[in-house]
Amino acid sequence: MIIHIDMDAFFASIEQVINPRLKGRPLIVGSRAHKMRTVVCAASYEAKALGIHSGMPSEDAFGICPNLEFVAADQAKYIWTSEQIFELLKGWGFVLNYASIDEFQMDILEHPEPLKLVAQIQEQIYANFNITASVGIAKNWLLAKLASKINKPNSVTLINEANFKDILSATPLTKACGMAGKTGQVLMAQGLKTCWDLYLNLPGFFAENPGKFEDIPEKSKSIGHSYTLPRAQTNPRFISAWIRVLSEMVGERLRQKNLVAKTIQLWLNIPEKGDFLAQKTFAIAANDSYEIYLRTLKIMTGMAQKRPKIRALGVTASHLSPQEYLPLLIEEKRREALVKAIDKINCRFGDNSIFPAQVILTRK
Ligand SMILES: [Mg+2]
């Protein structure tokens, strides 16, 4: 069993603990110091209640609430707190992974009383840091992550066989990881409204190994995702947008597992011609989604199919090795935190920030 621990309004909550004057106040944390010329990267629950949310220009936020409190983001502070929480959670003795700067995943195996355990973890976090976390419990990380987001803040949500259909039916598709933005909109335009619709149409999405999005079997230690289009498509921009989506998913999972990949493989199903598979091994291993996308496009160009009519496609990374890079310097930590923050933004707020123009093209 997996538990997904997601800190509530993490950056804003930390600022409110450090400066008690901000406690109970609508507060935004801006990505840059100029309070009128930045973007909200975190909003306190008091600000959220007014309709202020992450990703919003700060000017708009001040338009809603002129008395808004403002703090410029201080990554070092958040990373430090995140590391302290990680250390604390490690004490439980279960396998623990970072999902992002403020999200942690713990494999609690067949723990007999998961709800009791989670209550203890939440109490421990609050006792040590004065901030709250929402926790999801489920059989795999994707469902656990979804569960953690359903009743925020300071919540516990368990998804099991008995309530799986009810919970997914009551949860909008846009709550699922990676579905908050344009990808979700593409699927909603195809008539998928809830997570249950997503499950019925793409059963692999919530499966143990997500992937239809299907998980391409991890036979030889690879990580891959594929997608079957509702109908065959020739538009190269549409195809490359889906390659981008799949590259994002592959990159995110590589980073989650702290892996880098040297080999990228592209699989295309062309109804009239069959399956095409091509791969390329690169000198430098990568787990950056954009790099994976560029490499996949390179492979696609090499396949020399002229406007193929594609029904399904897949991107797989293999030749995996641990990411040995240990960020020691503050600057390097900040860079890593940035990538983690991008992952977080992607999962929570959608894909706008990552592939703005491109995915809009898929809607044509
Ligand atoms: Mg959070």
Per-residue pLDDT tens over the stretch 48-107:
999 999 889 999 999 999 999 999 988 788 888 998 999 999 999 999 888 778 999 999
- The pLDDT value recorded for residue 274 is 83
Share of the chain above pLDDT 70, in %: 84
Share of the chain above pLDDT 90, in %: 44
Q: How far is the CA of 229 from the centre of ligand 1 (A)?
A: 32
155 & 202 share domain: no
Q: Which of 103, 214, 248, 336 is catalytic?
A: 103
Q: How far is the CA of 133 from the centre of ligand 1 (A)?
A: 8
Per-residue pLDDT tens over the stretch 104-140:
999 999 999 999 999 999 999 999 999 999 999 999 8
Q: Give the residues across from 103 on adjacent strands.
A: 6, 100
In the predicted model, what is the mean pLDDT of the chain? 83
100 & 135 share domain: yes
Per-residue pLDDT tens over the stretch 246-300:
888 888 888 877 788 999 999 998 888 888 888 999 988 888 888 899 999 999 8
166 & 301 share domain: no
3-class state of residue 330 by DSSP? helix
218 & 342 share domain: yes
- The pLDDT value recorded for residue 266 is 93
**Full-model pTM:** 0.60
176 is a domain residue: no
Question: How many domains does one find in the chain?
Answer: 3
More confident residue, 208 or 110: 110
Q: Which domain CATH number covers 157?
A: 3.30.70.270
Hunting for tokens 């708009």 — which residue is that? 60
Say if residues 54 and 345 touch (Cβ distance below 8 Å): yes
239 is a domain residue: yes
70 & 89 share domain: no
Query: What count of residues does the chain have?
Result: 364
Q: How far is the CA of 153 from the centre of ligand 1 (A)?
A: 9
Say if residues 282 and 263 touch (Cβ distance below 8 Å): yes
CA distance 215 to 209: 6
Say if residues 105 and 4 touch (Cβ distance below 8 Å): yes
4: pLDDT confidence band, cut at 50, 70 and 90? Answer: very high
pLDDT for 183 beyond 80? no
Which residues constitute the domain of residue 33?
10-75
286 & 246 share domain: yes
Among candidate residues 127, 148, 171, the one where a domain is terminated: 171
Least confident residue range of 13-17, 176-180, 348-352? 348-352
Q: How far is the CA of 178 from the centre of ligand 1 (A)?
A: 15
Q: Which of 17, 137, 99 is nearest to 341 (CA)?
A: 99
Q: Which domain CATH number covers 14?
A: 3.40.1170.60
108 is a domain residue: yes
Q: Which domain CATH number covers 223?
A: 3.30.1490.100
| ∠ CA 213-313-273, rounded to 5° | 140
